[in-house]
Amino acid sequence: MAVSGGRDSRGELKIYEGLDDLTTDFADYVALLSELSVKERGVFAIALSGGSLISLMAKLCETPYSKTVDWTKWHVFWADERVVSKNHVDSNYKLAKDGLLSKVPVLSSHVHSINDNLSAEEAAADYEFVLRQLVKTRTVDVSESSDCPKFDLILLGMGPDGHVASLFPGHPAIERKGDWITYLTDSPKPPPERITFTLPVINSASNVAIVVAGEAKATAVHCAIDDMTEEFDAAMVPARMVQPTDGKLVWFLDRSAASKLQCSSELLE
Ligand SMILES: O=C1O[C@H](COP(=O)(O)O)[C@@H](O)[C@H](O)[C@H]1O
């Protein structure tokens, strides 16, 4: 149970005393959205990120979720991926495979990872092609307002610099609008070669969750959520640019990550 919750123009805030409460509520949230999507569409199209997110999803491998979630209906994508081989320690696919996908009965044909034999540019184009085929068959829904894929759920972490997926502060990838997937060869965080969903794709999802823990990210959380002066450049905090057009944004924060929020003194006594 969240120690506090609130609705802000920047999405719904769920703040937890500790990681145990956060991960349990987060697992409930993912399981519920999976159930609703499967009821409504017959499938659940979910995009994962890398980093700390996967360890925060570990509860989903445990009962009751391991038994109650209809894993065979999941179609798994990555909101960003590092252009390395699938068995490389930096691979977001490997992280999710080891930490989640190998422990639950998701069908391997429903796991849509990048082609790791291609360059970053080619891998981005290839991943977008794959996604376009799956939108045609409505495995992934389509947004009526943007023509972009409409994922049932996109899960994002956030770096201490405010980056989400592989959209880094001030990087031109933030501005990409025509493509669904873009690539970087100069990521400020290693490894340098990556592919990433563009902001229009992230903001077309039915649901987006940003999951953040730890004091090192408190300033970025503040800059992403709190009211700022007009001069504040949102492109310097990509998480602030996550604003689903027709969907719902939820922040899952632990107390440390939320500690610099303007509202934190009211929300957290
Ligand atoms: O490089 C990346 O970093 C972000 C944040 O990672 P975290 O370990 O600080 O949570 C992650 O969301 C992204 O997928 C990954 O490629």
Residues 77-129: tens digit of each pLDDT: 999 999 999 999 999 999 999 999 999 999 999 999 999 999 999 999 999 99
* Strand, coil or helix: 268: coil
Q: Which residue's CA is the nearest one to ligand 1's atom 15?
A: 50
> Is residue 235 in a domain?
no
| CATH code, 193 | 3.40.50.1360
The pLDDT tens digits of the residues spanning 230-245 come to: 888 988 999 999 999 9
Question: Residues lining ligand 1, judged by CB closer than 6 Å?
Answer: 49-53, 80, 92, 156-157, 159, 165-166, 189
> Is residue 141 in a domain?
yes
51-62 mean pLDDT: 97
The per-residue pLDDT for 230 is 86
The per-residue pLDDT for 134 is 98
The C-alpha atoms of residue 2 and residue 39 are separated, in whole angstroms, by 27
- State the CB neighbour count (10 A cutoff) for residue 87: 10
pLDDT confidence of 263, banded at 50, 70, 90? Answer: confident
The per-residue pLDDT for 3 is 60
Give the structural domain span for 211: 69-215+246-253
Task: Say if strands 181-184 and 194-197 run parallel, antiparallel, or are unpaired.
Answer: antiparallel
| pLDDT at residue 223 is higher than 70 | yes
49-60 mean pLDDT: 97
Are the C-beta atoms of residues 207 and 155 closer than 8 Å to each other? no
Exposure string over 89-103, b if 16+ CB within 10 A, otherwise e: eebbbbbbbebbbee
The Å distance, Cα 39 to ligand 1 centre, comes to 31
Of all atoms in ligand 1, which is nearest to the CA of residue 81? Answer: 16
In the chain, % of residues over pLDDT 90 = 90
The per-residue pLDDT for 234 is 87
> Is residue 39 in a domain?
no
Look at the chain and report how many structural domains it folds into: 1
> Is residue 142 in a domain?
yes
